[in-house]
Every structure is written in C-alpha cells, then in structure tokens.
Amino acid sequence: MMRIDIATLFPEMCDRFLTESIIGRAAKRGYIETHCHQIRDYTLNKQKQTDDYPYGGGCGMVMNAQPIYDCCQEIIRQVQEQGRPRPHIVFMTAAGARYNEEHAKRLASYDSLLLVCGHYEGMDERVIEALADEEISIGDYVLTGGELASLVVADSVLRLQPGVLAEAKGYQEESHWNGLLEYPQYTRPEVWEGRAVPPVLLSGHHANIDAWRAEQSVERTKNRRPDLYEAWLKKEGKG
Ligand code: SAM
C-alpha cells in the first residue's frame, strides 16, 4: 500500500485536500496512506523562523536548509520504522522537470514518496542537493508555494493505486494514458438546450461506439495538441 508524505509550511492546506473525496475515501479504507508534516516544527531558533535573506541580495526570503533537512530525516525514519525502504524524495521546484502522466506512472511504482514544498523565494539549494532524488515542476509558471504542486503529484499518483478508483479502466481510458486525449463524454438528458448526444452512443452497438470513440480521440489530439499527436504517431510506428 503506497504512502505519500508531504513536508510543508502549510500542512493543513494539504491535509484538507488529501482527506476529501476519492483520495480521502481510499485512505480511510486503507488502500493508501498520506501524512503532512510541518517544517516549522524542526527549527532550532526561538522565533521558529524558517527563512532568511538571500546571500548576494535580491528580493524575498529563502527557506533555510536545516529545518527542511531535519523534517525530511524524521519522515525517512518514520517511513523506515514501518519496514519500508527509504522514500523516493521529490522537491517541488519551478526549475524541475515538467510533470506529465509518464512521471505519474513511474512515481506510482515507488513504495513511498516524500514531496517537499518550498515557499517565498524558494529553498536553499544545498538542501535540494543533499536530499532530492528529483525535482518536479507542474508547469511553466510560478506558484507562491509548492503545496498545490505536491497535491497535483500526490493526486495523480495515488489515483493509479489499486483500490482508489473502482477499476483500472477508470484511468486507462483517460486522456494522456496512451498519449492521446480522451473522446468527448455525455450523460443524460439525450437532448440538452437543443444539443443532441451523438446518435452512435445511443445505438447499443459496442464495436461502433468503440470505433467512434477511438476516432474522436485521435481527431481531438490532432486538432488540440499536435505535439502529442506527432509523438503518438511515432510511438505507433505511423510517423
Ligand atoms: N524563485 C523561484 C524560481 O524563480 O524558480 C520560485 C519560488 S516560488 C515563488 C516558491 C515555491 O513554490 C518553490 O520553492 C516551489 O516549491 C513552488 N513552486 C513554484 N512554482 C512551481 C511549479 N511550477 N512547480 C512546482 N513547484 C513550484
């Protein structure tokens, strides 16, 4: 059963998300385990300060290495105490590798992950060098903190774990699993605001439905994401 730990200055923010909905239900049923940790608890100064001015000047504050390091060491100890291997450690940074479904599939195969969130101007580079197995960015934009990024990674990885979704088909037929975007989806009523559901979906003819969906999936990808389409053609040996 996979375990994910998040080290952050805002554990309540992360916990709130991880205890709700599909992920929260799966955790309550024992299919996954999540823990959020307060980096501030590991400061050694009276003021419980976790950041300081950047060497060399510049705006904003930089998170100190020591509380992050000590927090991660304690998490590693707790994980290993359960008889698990050392967690795979991922630092959330705007300068990391850009995240996609292939990363999610790979990260989903680890026994446990430790996701580390920065804030302010970021983290002292030396703690990243000392601990990170990899750095991940969730996209080419800058967030105020790593919390949302860590939740994006946790959510996309945990939904691939057995027992979280009702069946594996739930994620294997979705966008990005095989390199394509998903076909359009419809539910009741048959006609809404003058817009009818494509008749093939009401035909009950499963082979025709599958063929229509496959065609829509390819068309959508070609029109909306030519970059993904080209990569898919190559993978299929059609490029
Ligand atoms: N000064 C940093 C830079 O220019 O790369 C940005 C720091 S950002 C304001 C504060 C924190 O938010 C980072 O330490 C990181 O943990 C997180 N963060 C910001 N953008 C992110 C992204 N695209 N992906 C993952 N984490 C991000």
143-198 pLDDT, tens digit per residue, is 999 999 999 999 999 999 999 998 877 788 888 899 999 999 999 999 999 999 99
Could you tell me the pLDDT band of residue 8, with boundaries at 50, 70 and 90? very high
For ligand 1, atom 4, name the residue with the nearest CA. 94
For 127-165, what is the HEC assignment? HHHHHCCEEEECCCCCCCECHHHHHHHHHHHHCCCCCCC
Percent of the chain with pLDDT over 90: 95
Average pLDDT over residues 68-79: 98
Average pLDDT, the chain: 97
Calculate how far, in angstroms, residue 161's C-alpha sits from the geometric centre of ligand 1: 27
Which residue's alpha carbon is nearest to atom 3 within ligand 1? Answer: 94
Q: Is cis: bond before 189, omega within 30 of 0?
A: yes
Q: Which atom of ligand 1 is nearest to the CA of 117?
A: 16
- Under DSSP, the state recorded for 49 is -
Q: Ligand 1: residues within 6 Å at CB?
A: 92-95, 117-119, 121-123, 137-139, 141-146, 149
Alpha carbon of 61 to ligand 1 centroid (Å): 13
pLDDT of residue 227: 97
Q: For residue 136, which atom of ligand 1 is closest to its CA?
A: 25
SS3 assignment, position 31: coil
What is the rounded distance in angstroms from the CA atom of residue 111 to the CA atom of residue 85?
A: 7
Determine the pLDDT at residue 172.
83
Q: Closest Cα to atom 19, ligand 1: which residue?
A: 143
Locate the DSSP E strands across 158-204: 191-192, 195-196
Contact 10, 150 (CB under 8 A): no
User: What is the average pLDDT across 97-116?
Assistant: 98
Identify the pLDDT of residue 110.
98
Q: Measured from the CA of 137, which atom of ligand 1 is nearest? A: 24
For residue 156, give the amino acid letter: S
SS3 content of the chain, % helix, strand, coil (to 5): 40, 20, 40
| Mean predicted confidence (pLDDT) in 86-98 | 98
Whole-number pLDDT of residue 174:
86
Instruction: Decide if pLDDT at 61 tops 80.
Output: yes
CA distance 112 to 138: 20
Residue 60: per-residue pLDDT: 95
